[in-house]
């Protein structure tokens, strides 16, 4: 079945590629582990095609049709393939200014032969899998033609068109989406903001360079220019806003340091003292490369800037900018239209809590004639952008939320004497606002909805069973629970689904635990 297609594919792929497709032909749009990628640039290599699939799971097979600018990627599970296709359907990936398109293939899996094309594809896959399995770099990777040679794990990053401040934390949030960032040093040289950034291995660094080089952090500005550094390791002496070693939380802040510390400048000029004896020291202690949070169901409509294809970083960077007061970033649209709500269970306070994870909700208005729709006004456009990017597509009370920016600039309160049955609520003076203080640490704890919740402000008398019973009391299932070892005021609780976690957050954020302690609940990036 499907042999005619496999024969015609084979001949275009390499003349003697007799790559077979196994299994029945399926209708278009039916999920499959195999994804058909089209409109690739002529000079595309295997590494770049594989990198499209890496954030979503393991890439198990690859067929390149270079003559047709097409490829087939096989993922390890249908779930991974579905996440990938739904993500890229809303956020078109771009390689060297080529928008790339993908859809499910009609075939369930790919079968490989030993043609030169396939040998190269398999070598590229093995290189990636070796790194993913062990977190260790390949000695030399694949040859230069495969594009996966032994690159330095250190990237040199220059930020051009610096119209808004870019901080070390912004860089960390963006680059850590592509793998484990070990160390960062930032400095100013030739009047340009620059950074040296070390990953756990060279392949991750190459993947990050491919994904991020030339991208804008914010709309039409703050452009990333990325090259491999001659250094193979960074030597960080202080953890502060200029340099950070994430493997050494015990380092001093060195507060007396001048604003550009000397070792950062030395690093910039490639001073020999920076290179450590073992260029990959300690890399194996880190999680495998590409441990990227799955971008499940995130859609990005109207996101500013070139980083739109990296949903979460744009939101994270926007949050960091919001922290510095750059509220005009997303055009000042601070009102969102949320639709496809469940009108039987949705009341304004629920939406206030749901959206309040991503910013401070000022007003909520359920639409009188269409109670499944609501307008939500955030305190600024950055927070609206953030809430939209994280909540659009998430399920709440059995229905997938649709979140877009509204054309309204604010939510009107009902006029004196015109009651609207409690459909409009004003929260501008709410004690629950988490982001009032500039530089609030809540900005750095913004994560997409996940099944694991982070709890804080737990009084000493409350034990594990109390909290498990509290979260089970709403009918939800608690799968796991863990107190933080160093701080028993905080804990993680894992629910059975993201939807249950969202509902639990709404139910129990600010819940009175006694002793004047109100429980704080947010989404966690960790699992238990």
**DSSP for residue 443:** G
* Residue 132: exposure state from Cβ atoms within 10 A (0-12, 13-18, ≥19): middle
pLDDT value at position 320? 42
What is the SS3 assignment for 505? helix
Query: Given a cut of 50, is residue 145 above it in pLDDT?
Result: no
What is the SS3 assignment for 204? helix
Q: Are 508 and 470 in contact (CB under 8 A)?
A: yes
Q: According to DSSP H, which parts of 159-310 are helical?
A: 168-175, 202-212, 262-268
pLDDT (tens digit per residue) in 237-275: 999 889 998 888 888 887 544 333 333 333 333 322 222
* Angle separating helix axes 348-356 and 498-508, nearest 10 degrees: 110
pLDDT, greater one: 141 or 210: 210
Question: What is the DSSP secondary-structure string of 132-169?
Answer: HHHS---SS-S-GGGT-----SEEEEEEES--S---HH
Query: Given a cut of 80, is residue 218 above it in pLDDT?
Result: no
Comparing 15-29, 59-73, 162-176, 480-494, the range with the smallest average pLDDT is: 15-29
pLDDT (tens digit per residue) in 289-312: 222 222 222 222 333 333 333 333
**DSSP for residue 24:** -
Query: Given a cut of 80, is residue 413 above it in pLDDT?
Result: yes
Query: How distant, in Å, are the alpha carbons of 15, 111, 113, 320 from that of 127?
Result: 26, 19, 19, 35
What is the SS3 assignment for 187? strand
* Angle separating helix axes 116-134 and 3-14, nearest 10 degrees: 90
Contacts of 272 (CB under 8 A, 6+ apart): none
Comparing 297-311, 379-393, 405-419, 502-516, the range with the smallest average pLDDT is: 297-311
Structural domains in the chain, sorted by start: 34-130 (3.30.70.330), 154-245 (3.30.70.330), 335-438 (3.30.70.330), 447-523 (3.30.70.330)
Residue 363: in which H helix or E strand, if any? strand 361-366
Cα(302)–Cα(33) distance, integer angstroms: 29
Sheet holding 70-75, edge to edge: 59-65, 70-75, 34-38, 101-104
Phi and psi at residue 271, to the nearest 5°: -60, 135
pLDDT value at position 470? 96
Comparing 78-82, 363-367, 444-448, the range with the smallest average pLDDT is: 444-448
Q: Apex CA 176: angle with CA 58 and CA 270, to 5°?
A: 115
Among 268, 273, 253, 267, CA closest to 192: 268
């Amino acid at each position: 079945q499907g042999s005619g297609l496999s024969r015609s594919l084979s001949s275009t792929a390499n003349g003697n590629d007799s790559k077979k497709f196994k299994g029945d032909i399926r209708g278009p749009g039916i999920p499959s582990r195999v994804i058909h990628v089209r409109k690739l640039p002529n000079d595309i290599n295997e590494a770049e095609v594989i990198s499209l699939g890496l954030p979503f799971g393991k890439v198990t097979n690859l067929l390149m049709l270079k003559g047709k600018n097409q490829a087939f990627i096989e993922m390890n599970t249908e779930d991974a393939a579905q996440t990938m296709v739904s993500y890229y359907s809303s956020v078109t990936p771009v390689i060297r200014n080529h928008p790339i398109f993908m859809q499910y293939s009609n075939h369930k899996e790919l079968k490989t032969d030993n043609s030169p094309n396939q040998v190269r594809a398999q070598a590229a896959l093995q290189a990636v899998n070796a790194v993913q399995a062990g977190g260790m770099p390949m000695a030399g990777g694949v040859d230069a033609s495969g594009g996966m040679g032994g690159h330095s794990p250190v990237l040199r990053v220059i930020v051009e068109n610096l119209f808004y401040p870019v901080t070390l934390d912004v860089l960390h949030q963006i680059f850590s989406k592509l793998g484990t960032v070990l160390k960062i040093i930032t400095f100013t040289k030739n009047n340009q903001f620059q950074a040296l950034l070390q990953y756990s291995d060279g392949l991750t660094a190459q993947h990050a360079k491919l994904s991020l080089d030339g991208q804008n952090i914010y709309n039409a500005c703050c452009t990333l220019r990325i090259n491999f550094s001659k250094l193979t390791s960074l030597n960080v002496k202080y953890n502060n806003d200029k340099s950070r070693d994430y493997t050494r939380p015990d380092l001093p802040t060195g507060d007396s340091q001048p604003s550009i510390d000397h070792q950062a400048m030395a690093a910039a000029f490639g001073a020999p003292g920076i290179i450590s004896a073992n260029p990959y020291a300690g890399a194996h202690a880190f999680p495998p490369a590409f441990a990227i949070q799955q971008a499940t169901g995130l859609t990005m409509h109207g996101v500013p800037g070139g980083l739109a294809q990296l949903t979460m970083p744009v939101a994270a960077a926007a949050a960091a900018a919001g922290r510095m007061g750059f509220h005009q970033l997303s055009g000042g649209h601070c009102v969102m239209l949320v639709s496809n709500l469940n009108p039987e269970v949705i009341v304004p306070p629920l939406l206030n809590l749901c959206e309040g994870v991503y910013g401070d909700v000022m007003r909520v208005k359920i639409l009188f004639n269409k109670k499944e729709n609501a307008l939500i006004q955030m305190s600024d456009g950055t927070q609206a952008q953030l809430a939209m990017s994280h909540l659009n597509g998430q399920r709440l009370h059995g229905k997938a939320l649709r979140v877009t920016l509204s054309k309204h600039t604010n939510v009107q309160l009902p006029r004196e004497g015109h009651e609207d049955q409690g459909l409009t609520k004003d929260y501008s003076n709410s004690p629950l606002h988490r982001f009032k203080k500039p530089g609030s640490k809540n900005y750095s704890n913004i994560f997409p909805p996940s099944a694991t919740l982070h709890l804080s402000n737990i009084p000493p008398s409350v034990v594990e069973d109390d909290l498990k019973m509290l979260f089970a009391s709403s009918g939800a299932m608690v799968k796991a629970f863990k107190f933080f070892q160093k701080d028993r005021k905080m804990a993680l609780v894992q629910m059975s689904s993201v939807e249950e976690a969202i509902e639990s957050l709404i139910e129990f954020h600010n819940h009175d635990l006694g002793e004047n302690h109100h429980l704080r609940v947010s989404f966690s990036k960790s699992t238990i």
